[in-house]
Structure 1
Amino acid sequence: MNIKELKEQGFRIDQNILLNQFTYTKTGGPAEFLAFPKNITQIEQLLQIASDKKLPITIIGNASNLIIREGGIKGLVLILTEMKEIEVKGNRITAQAGAKIIETSETAYKHSLGGLEFAAGIPGSVGGAVFMNAGAYGGEIKDVLKTVTVLTRQGELKTYQNTDLHFSYRHSLLQDNDDIVLEATFELQRDVATNIRAMMDDFNERRASKQPLEYPSCGSVFKRPEGHFTGPLIIEAGLQGKIIGGAQISTKHAGFIVNINHATATDYLELIELVQKTIWKKNQIKLVPEVRIIGDEAK
């Protein structure tokens, strides 16, 4: 891959860049090639180059619910945060994949559109939110998504309707087929702006009071097991406050692992494994990570 030539063509692309500067955990090894495409055309060109060079491709959004192992990621990593336009037409908002879901929620408020209040404090991108059916405080992306436009790994543009995506708790079809989210359209309802603002502020106040926002983290680490809540299970197992390396099970919210002292991805993964083994031994409950874990093991 000719980095110099691609830069001259207007691509933002580099080689052997540490990904810890982009992840919310502040951990992660290097990307062999890292690009920030500005539009669909650039994504299509990069996919073709990667295919010609037989390079694997990894897509990253806002890297908020993500752990990248210390060995980094081989091939081409695309971070879509340059694609962040948000457009409002009537009661619909169309946001590009790299737009922050928080900013999309704020745009809805400014246009007196209700339905995205639950997303007012979710730090992910629109693409990531659709990919994992993000949710909070009783709301989920599936409740408001109308359509999503994707690019398949073969370079085909497709549009999915909500029902095509087989949404379930923290899951969508996109996790199974590897399509690349380009933009999503949300269908919302007219509401009084002050009501929308009040709900958003309430959710954010609750989030700030309960979650360890003062430390780097990957957000909620585990999916909620049916019939249980993860935090209380971890507290009852005596693991709250447990430290491995620079990572700690948060003393504020046991469902979070925070980076308190230059933690590595390995520290995070060892804590995750400890929690899983302990809860299984104590309660016979299998905790499944909500956080996406990618990349190679450290050498």
Structure 2
Amino acid sequence: MSIVKELQQIINPEHILIDEPLKNHTYTKLGGVADYFVTPSTVEEVQEIIRYANKTDVPFTLLGNGSNVIVRDGGIRGIVLSLKKFSGIKREEDKVIAESGARIIDASRFALSEYLTGLEFACGIPGTVGGALYMNAGAYGGEVKDCLESALVVDSTGEVHRLPADAFALEYRTSNIAEKGYIVLEATFSLEEEKYDDIKAVMDDLTYKRESKQPLEYPSCGSVFKRPPGYFAGKLIQDSELQGKGIGGAEVSNKHAGFIVNKNKATATDYISVIEMVQREVKAKFGVELEREVRILGED
């Protein structure tokens, strides 16, 4: 039996796309095709897909909403699983419970509507809740680890667990989620009640800072590099006189040096080449190794 027919026995055939261009699912608008792009709608379907991939040795990749990832031009073999149908957000007591496919920015806005404070930092982060946990996303002095209480995950064997926040070893832009083989299904954030106007004022200020400083007019993966100890990545890149320099259709943003933009029909190879150029130049000029924050998936 073909892979497609076997997958159709697990999930709705309409939720399986063959040779799906991943540029349609990444913020950089880059990337080759996924052999099988699947969008399950229940926890049981996720479990069965994982078990099927394990049983058949079909390659398996989890993709969020593609905001902090670059997919190479050759695409991704095997099954690419998207949890975009897991998008629910609700309140229980002073907690916001968000499914992994919901955008963390939407969880932040929901918290505002419920007069709950603690997620304001996320009001400009476009990634999913699952992706935010994966990299302990943060901005403007806040990060996921500050308010995460627990998460529901499925492990590499297809078993579901609810784990406390400290089980994920959340540190600056990192966690052990990939190492443990977890897929996040849902996150519970512990927040506090506050006046609506006070929460909104903070979010409006952060939104202004983001929109005025970031090159949102071009496709990009957001901030490319982690902050090196004792430095700011954007300042190092700016002082290396790399803004406006590029390869092919990708270049270092003139608006924010920490961003690389797809300015003119770039390929993933162009984009990755610019990342490597920036790393070389900053290392040569300042002796500082810039570590990528963005993930690179797929093959050339």
Q: TM-score range by the shorter chain?
A: over 0.9
Deviation (angstroms), 1:128: 0.1
In the TM superposition, what whole-angstrom CA distance separates every residue of 1:108-142 from its partner, at most 9, and x where no partner exists?
A: 00000000000001000000000100000000000
SS in 2 for 1:15: strand
Deviation (angstroms), 1:19: 0.3
Partner of 2:51: 48
Distance in 2, matches of 1:292 and 1:178, equals 16
Letter in 1 for 2:235: P
Deviation (angstroms), 1:15: 1.5
Partner of 1:259: 262
1:10 alignment partner, one of 9, 12, 29:
12
Deviation (angstroms), 1:175: 2.8
Distance in 2, matches of 1:175 and 1:45, equals 19
**Does 2:184 match 1:184?**
no
What is the RMSD computed on CA atoms of the aligned residues?
1.2
Deviation (angstroms), 1:178: 2.1
Deviation (angstroms), 1:48: 2.1
Partner of 2:145: 142
Long gaps (5+) in structure 1: none
Deviation (angstroms), 1:248: 1.1
**Does 2:215 match 1:244?**
no
Distance in 2, matches of 1:103 and 1:113, equals 13
**Does 2:203 match 1:200?**
yes
Gap change, CA 1:6 and 1:238, over 3 Å in 2: same
Deviation (angstroms), 1:52: 2.6
Partner of 1:223: 226
Long gaps (5+) in structure 2: none
Distance in 2, matches of 1:162 and 1:257, equals 32
Q: Is the 8 A contact 2:7 2:49 kept in 1?
A: no
Q: Name the % identity.
A: 47
When structure 1 is superposed on structure 2, of 135-144 and 67-76 the one drifting more is: 67-76
2:286 alignment partner, one of 283, 292, 295:
283
Distance in 1, matches of 2:246 and 2:176, equals 36
Q: Is the 8 A contact 1:98 1:127 kept in 2?
A: yes
Gap change, CA 1:295 and 1:6, over 3 Å in 2: closer
**Does 2:70 match 1:88?**
no
Distance in 2, matches of 1:5 and 1:60, equals 21
Distance in 1, matches of 2:96 and 2:111, equals 7
Deviation (angstroms), 1:251: 0.3
Distance in 2, matches of 1:63 and 1:106, equals 20
Q: Is the 8 A contact 2:225 2:291 kept in 1?
A: yes
Q: TM-score, normalised by structure 1?
A: 0.97
Distance in 1, matches of 2:107 and 2:239, equals 38
Deviation (angstroms), 1:295: 0.8
User: How many equivalent residue pairs?
Assistant: 297
Distance in 1, matches of 2:213 and 2:8, equals 44
Distance in 1, matches of 2:176 and 2:51, equals 24
2:295 alignment partner, one of 285, 292, 297:
292
